[in-house]
Chains A and B, each alone.
Chain A
Amino acid sequence: MAETKELTLPSRIESVDQAAREAEQFAQSAGLDEEFRSAIDMAVRESVANAVKHGNKFDETKQVEIKFSQLPEGFEVVVRDFGPGFDVDDVPDPTNPDNLLKASGRGILFMRAFMDEVEWSNHTGGGLVVKMLKKQ
């Protein structure tokens, strides 16, 4: 079994499904159970959607780089966009009563809910990187 898989996808909505399909195949070949794969699926969809929408702002000349790795400590997903980046602390808490009826802003909450570790960093070559780990 390959221990790492890397993808580079264009900044369009269809890339979300494609990344999720590739993650499912990779996670299945790693023998991960359905509940675990479902969490990975959610995290991949939300992070790639964020990269396409908020990072690259649907600019198809910008790519989304995705890496899945089966590590001794768990399953890691890394997603990089080529946008201007953002400070995760600036994203309003969607569970705050004042924000409950907002139409967006829940993707980060889902990534944190379904993965054990989620970290954002600015890539030295530009863009934002989110690294997520689901422990086994």
Chain B
Amino acid sequence: MADITISERQAGDVTILDLNGKVTIGEGSVALRTTIRRLLGDGKNKILMNLGGVGYIDSSGIGELVSSFTAVNKEGGTLKLLNLTQKIQDLLAITKLLTVFDVFDSESDALASFE
């Protein structure tokens, strides 16, 4: 079974990615990278990443979030994070990345922030 599933929803011009599973070295990180590249290739550069279903992330997964963020920025887009678990919030605090990402607890607030 795959370590991660990534489902896509569209809310106006914002693409919401619902991640479920593990974002770790190997399969999980690669799946995320592939998805972000495809979206950018399709011209979709407003991305809201819902991490509520991510039970585990390691340093490689955190690195992939950063790579996604910089790849989207480079294309003139925006990537924001939704529904961080306590664990992910702790890891982003340790790495000082909470200062980098826009983070939301509410999907409607997150979507409004893209307008």
Contacts and interface: CB of A to CB of B under 8 A. Distances in A.
Contact of B96 (A38, A100, A102): A100
B100 A101 contact: yes
Contact of B60 (A38, A49, A101, A109): A49
B1 interface: no
Interface residues of B, number: 21
Interface of A: 13-14, 16, 38, 42, 45-46, 49, 53, 94-95, 100-107, 109-110, 113
B11 interface: no
A110 B69 CA distance: 21
Interface of B: 24-26, 58-60, 62-64, 66-67, 69-70, 87, 91, 94-97, 99-100
- B contacts with A: majority SS: helix
A105 B7 CA distance: 29
A49 B25 contact: yes
A109 B100 contact: no
Contacts of A42: 58
Contact of B59 (A13, A38, A109): A109
Given A13-B26, A45-B24, A53-B25, A107 B59 contact: yes
A103 B97 contact: no
Contacts of A110: 58-59, 91, 94
SS of A interface (majority): helix
B58 A109 contact: no
Contacts of B97: 100
A33 to B, nearest CB: 15
10 contacts: A16-B24, A49-B58, A49-B59, A94-B95, A100-B95, A100-B100, A101-B70, A101-B100, A102-B63, A105-B63
